[in-house]
Amino acid sequence: LIAVGSELLSAGRRDSNAHWLAERLDRLGIALVARGLVVDESERIASLLAAALRRSELIVVTGGIGPTADDVTREAVARALDRPLERDLEQVNRLMRRFAAFGRRFGPEQLKQADRPRGATWIDNPRGSAPGLLVIQDNTILCVLPGVPSEMKAMFLATLEPELERRSRRSFARSVLKIAGRSEPSVDRAIADLYDAPGREITILSGIGGIELLLRTDGADAEAARSALESVEREIRRRLGVDIFGRDDDTLAEVVGALLLERHLTLSTAESCTGGLLGAAVTGVPGSSAWYRGGLVVYSDALKQDLAGVSSSTLVSAGAVSEATAVELARGARHRCGSDIGVGVTGVAGPGGGTDQKPVGRVHLALSDADADLHWQMDLPGDRADVRGRSVTVALDRLRRHLLARGHVR
């Protein structure tokens, strides 16, 4: 993958096209061996392209095919292929008709969009003016698409993806298993002996929202690949059990929501250190109003009392960051918001406010329902954003386990 455009190399920019393309190619079973970003300079682009042409079966270039002087990708492709750049009069007519249909002026600067290296075919651009290019040389496919994400995606899906699917020689299946409540080394150890098997790939990714296992299996045909995937998934599920909270695009908040819905239960929250982040995660799920009533963000001690009903004696004796306060927050959320289950979170998010007894990262979490109050104390690593984010993950995961343990109530 080669992305062309000086603006892409500005600090702080992300090349979202590459991430989208990598994901689509991965689904097609195409291994990505290199990707690059390069400024709008014809010789640099050509030099990268020439290196890629020597070693890859598929090269996708995005960007630099518009009408401006900066747009030099067509020229660079011709140079890398050592073919002349030729103006296609049919394409000129097509562009002029297109511009006329949209009532836009067709200026001479637009003409270069009808230039292509000898032997290249056009890829129609249904959403913009610049057409793409396709070159097949020996065993290599070189494809040039616009940098505008909506145009690039539409053209890839309409033209390139079917062609690649047709050429694909391997069958494979893939899934993502999502894990919470367990450290990365512990997951790694639990499945270490499963990594080394032919036709199987397991990648472990770790983040604030949990751990992901990317699974991928090859097979003689789609059925064999799927069956190999099922077998490795089954084995991992046997080992990690309830620590696996979901699959593919599932989120913890969605899984919790589905469990609550199934059990006809409703939820509310009372947050101190997370300051609304737990409510935001829960309400990020479309339709969450069916099972989430609302929440209290109680940042001051006065509000912890007035709004959530934490007793002043608890705040004085145990302090705002304590088991007792977390439990009273959970109860308060439940009563104030009229829900079946209440969650309370209080802690020291940092960077200031830590003490020897209550260091930065110390978080108390509580759940309250009609049967009981539950409590957990944690010391979470990282900066303010990490501590807050991890608190939300743990809260949702504990809630999930609690709901699973309660079983299915009708």
Q: Which of residues 251-310 bind its own copies (CB under 8 A)?
A: 269, 271, 273-280, 282-284, 286-289, 292-300, 302-303, 306-307
Q: Least distance in Å: CB of 369 to its own copies? A: 18
Cα separation, 125 vs 65, in Å, equals 12
Residue with tokens 């990598």: 22
Continuous segment of H or E residues that includes residue 40:
none
Site for its own copies in 182-221 (CB under 8 A): 203, 205, 212, 214
- The answer to whether the beta carbons of residues 65 and 74 sit under 8 Å apart is yes
Piece in contact with its own copies (CB under 8 A), picked from 20-28, 67-75, 185-193, 400-408:
20-28
Q: Least distance in Å: CB of 29 to its own copies? A: 12
Site for its own copies in 312-341 (CB under 8 A): 336-338
Indicate the residue among 116 and 362 with the shorter CB distance to its own copies: 362
Continuous segment of H or E residues that includes residue 179:
strand 171-179
Q: Least distance in Å: CB of 286 to its own copies? A: 6
Phi, psi of 129 (to 5 degrees): -85, -40
Piece in contact with its own copies (CB under 8 A), picked from 42-50, 90-98, 114-122, 182-190:
42-50
Indicate the residue among 115 and 340 with the shorter CB distance to its own copies: 340
Phi, psi of 391 (to 5 degrees): -60, -40
Indicate the residue among 114 and 310 with the shorter CB distance to its own copies: 310
Indicate the residue among 93 and 203 with the shorter CB distance to its own copies: 203
Indicate the residue among 282 and 363 with the shorter CB distance to its own copies: 282
Q: Does 47 help bind its own copies (rule: CB under 8 A)?
A: yes
Q: Least distance in Å: CB of 55 to its own copies? A: 6
User: 341-347 and 171-179 as β-strands: parallel, antiparallel, unpaired?
Assistant: unpaired
Site for its own copies in 365-384 (CB under 8 A): 384
> Tokens for 92?
């000129």
Cα separation, 153 vs 24, in Å, equals 10
- The answer to whether the beta carbons of residues 110 and 122 sit under 8 Å apart is no
CA atoms within a 13 Å half-sphere pointing along the CA-CB vector of 410: 0
Q: Does 390 help bind its own copies (rule: CB under 8 A)?
A: no
Site for its own copies in 55-114 (CB under 8 A): 55
Contacts of 309 (CB under 8 A, 6+ apart): 328, 331, 332, 335, 336
